[in-house]
């Protein structure tokens, strides 16, 4: 009955939704109303990095709910949860990333960053990258480098130019008319493709020379998943604007974009209130985000991400596996065929393991476990993947 209601009342985004009916979740597991248990090896798509229903996050939620919910649109009232979170987060970042604008989601963060860059520079040209993914709203989709998602909604923003990721030819597109270059330091949906460090440094240098702002979309890669708080810290290349969301709220909806006070000044004038949000920085979400970040920094989670990477890369070696790439607990398992990939994902699901494909590759399995996962649980997942690769070769 509930499945029928789900299909009738809830707008669908695919013709074959997973349709698990959720009872509750805890730690690395999701439980269904029919008594099944699934090990969430994709963390709700890189959201639940500390697992589901982390007690510190739940405690913070209860405390804030007893105080107040929404009281005013963003930026007008002083709200302690916003200040607590911002102070803790910005204290971990380079000096020029000194202010945050809080929103509700990743695509909103990217939308705000693009507007901020255009407002600050007075320019309109945007440079983005093929196979990138920045969200599904109009502006974010305009800089997403995948025609299959863009074409149904054309025309999108004008004056957007796409280059090959990790290609130095991109430098030729960045000139004095460029407002911003937007990229993922590790392309997520594009196949878990890390940036080449020299290429990333050259993009930073060309932006400095031309006055373009450099935007890093760390919506999927942020908050400890790669073994550092953010990917750019691996590279030593600092953006002008940093976009964040997903794991930021410990399971609550929240996003943000971070920049300098000087750049953010442009949102205050000509006209004032030229970028606003009603629910951005919601106090309950901010309380969760503060508790989530505090736990992430005080625990051993960044080291655990590195251990997860080492464990998985050592374990997943078998004929049929092309490679395991990425950093920390943001990994991509590339297999030799589409049919093998489908088999592994489907059969592991039957064993109670949630794996995921990316939007851009049908031979890549996303491996993004919660950072609380145990070695025993990692062993179970890796052994299951290897077993199904072997089973496929016998078919």
CB 100 within 8 A of CB 86: yes
How many domains would you assign to the chain?
2
Assign residue 168 the CATH number of its domain. 3.40.640.10
pLDDT band at 356 (very low <50, low <70, confident <90, very high): confident
Q: What pLDDT was estimated at residue 16? A: 81
Residue 344 and residue 326 share a domain = yes
Residue 143 and residue 29 share a domain = no
pLDDT band at 393 (very low <50, low <70, confident <90, very high): confident
Q: Is 51 left (phi over 0), alpha (psi -120 to 50) or beta?
A: left
Residue 90 and residue 31 share a domain = no
Report phi then psi at 336, rounded to 5: -80, -10
Residue 346 and residue 216 share a domain = no
Residue 293 and residue 174 share a domain = yes
Residue 254 and residue 113 share a domain = yes
Residue 208 and residue 275 share a domain = yes
Q: What pLDDT was estimated at residue 10? A: 87
Average pLDDT over residues 129-136: 97
Domain boundary among 245, 277, 298: 298
Residue 369 and residue 265 share a domain = no
Mean pLDDT of the chain: 96
pTM of the predicted model, to two decimals? 0.97
Q: What pLDDT was estimated at residue 359? A: 62
Assign residue 34 the CATH number of its domain. 3.90.1150.10
Residue 96 and residue 106 share a domain = yes
pLDDT tens per residue across span 181-220: 999 999 999 999 999 999 999 999 999 999 999 999 999 9
* Cα 92–chain centre separation: 19
pLDDT band at 2 (very low <50, low <70, confident <90, very high): confident
Domain that holds residue 318: 2-54+301-394
Q: What pLDDT was estimated at residue 44? A: 95
Q: Which of 337, 10, 327, 86 is nearest to 186 (CA)?
A: 327
Q: Which residue has the higher pLDDT, 388 or 8?
A: 388
Average pLDDT over residues 83-90: 98
pLDDT band at 4 (very low <50, low <70, confident <90, very high): confident
pLDDT band at 19 (very low <50, low <70, confident <90, very high): confident
Residue 390 and residue 338 share a domain = yes
pLDDT tens per residue across span 235-288: 999 999 999 999 999 999 999 999 999 999 999 999 988 899 999 999 999 999
Give the percent of the chain with pLDDT over 70: 99
pLDDT band at 353 (very low <50, low <70, confident <90, very high): very high
Residue 68 and residue 36 share a domain = no
Domain boundary among 298, 318, 338: 298
Q: What pLDDT was estimated at residue 360? A: 65
Domain boundary among 274, 298, 322: 298
Q: What pLDDT was estimated at residue 18? A: 86
Structure tokens belonging to residue 184: 């993922």
Q: Is the pLDDT of residue 1 over 60?
A: no
d(CA 337, CA 363) in angstroms, rounded, equals 6
Biggest CA–CA distance in the chain, Å, is 67
Average pLDDT over residues 137-163: 96
Q: Is the pLDDT of residue 143 over 90?
A: yes
Structure tokens belonging to residue 34: 């029919």
Q: Is the pLDDT of residue 394 over 90?
A: no
Q: Is the pLDDT of residue 330 over 90?
A: yes
According to the 3-state scheme, what is the secondary structure of the chain?
CHHHHHHHHCCCCCCCCCCCCEEEEEECEEEECCCCEEEECCHHHHCCCCCECCHHHHHHHHHHHCCCCCCCCCCCCCCHHHHHHHHHHHCCCCCCCCEEEEECCHHHHHHHHHHHHHHHHCCCEEEEEECCCCCCCHHHHHCCECHHHHHHHCCCCCCEEEECCCCHHHHHHCCCCEEEEEECCEECCCCCEECCHHHHHHHHHHHHHHCCEEEEECCCCCCCCCCCCCCHHHHCCCCCEEEECHHHHCCCCCEEEEECHHHHHHHHCCCCCCCCCCCCCCHHHHHHHHHHHHHHHHCCHHHHHHHHHHHHHHHCCCCCEEEEEEECCEEEEEECCHHHHHHHHHHHHHCCEECEECCCCCCEEEECCCCCCCHHHHHHHHHHHHHHHHHHHHC
Residue 371 and residue 343 share a domain = yes
């Amino acid at each position: 009955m509930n499945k029928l209601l789900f299909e009738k009342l809830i707008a669908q985004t695919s013709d074959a939704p997973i349709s698990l009916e959720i009872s509750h979740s805890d730690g690395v597991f999701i439980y269904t109303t029919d008594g099944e248990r699934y090990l969430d090896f994709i963390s709700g798509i890189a959201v639940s990095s500390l697992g589901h229903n982390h007690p510190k996050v739940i405690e913070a939620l209860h405390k804030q709910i007893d105080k107040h919910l929404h009281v005013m649109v963003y930026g007008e009232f002083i709200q302690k949860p916003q200040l607590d979170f911002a102070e803790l987060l910005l204290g971990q970042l380079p000096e020029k990333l000194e202010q945050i604008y809080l929103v509700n989601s990743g695509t909103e963060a990217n939308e705000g960053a693009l507007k901020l860059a255009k407002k600050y520079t007075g320019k309109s040209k945007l440079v983005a990258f093929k196979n990138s993914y920045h969200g599904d709203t109009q502006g974010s989709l305009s800089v997403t480098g995948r025609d299959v998602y863009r074409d149904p909604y054309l025309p999108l923003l004008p004056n957007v130019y796409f280059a090959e990721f990790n290609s130095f030819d991109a430098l030729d597109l960045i000139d004095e008319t460029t407002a911003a270059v937007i990229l993922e330091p590790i392309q997520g949906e594009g196949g878990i493709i890390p940036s080449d460090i020299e290429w990333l440094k050259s993009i930073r240098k060309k932006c400095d020379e031309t006055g373009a702002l450099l935007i890093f979309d760390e919506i999927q890669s942020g908050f400890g998943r790669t073994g550092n708080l953010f990917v750019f810290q691996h590279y030593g290349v600092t953006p002008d604007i940093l976009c964040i969301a997903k794991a930021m709220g410990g399971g609550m909806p929240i996003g943000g974009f971070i920049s300098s006070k000087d750049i953010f000044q442009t949102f205050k004038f000509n006209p004032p209130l030229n970028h606003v949000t009603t629910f951005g920085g919601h106090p309950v979400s901010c309380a969760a985000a503060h508790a989530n970040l505090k736990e992430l920094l005080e625990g051993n989670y960044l080291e655990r991400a590195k251990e997860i990477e080492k464990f998985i890369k050592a374990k997943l070696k078998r004929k049929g596996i092309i490679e395991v790439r990425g950093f920390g607990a943001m990994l991509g398992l590339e297999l030799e065929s589409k049919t093998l990939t489908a088999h592994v994902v489907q059969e592991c699901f039957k064993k109670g393991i949630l794996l995921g494909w990316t939007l851009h590759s049908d031979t890549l399995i996303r491996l993004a476990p919660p950072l609380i996962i145990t070695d025993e649980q990692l062993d179970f997942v890796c052994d299951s993947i290897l077993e199904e690769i072997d089973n496929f070769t016998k078919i």
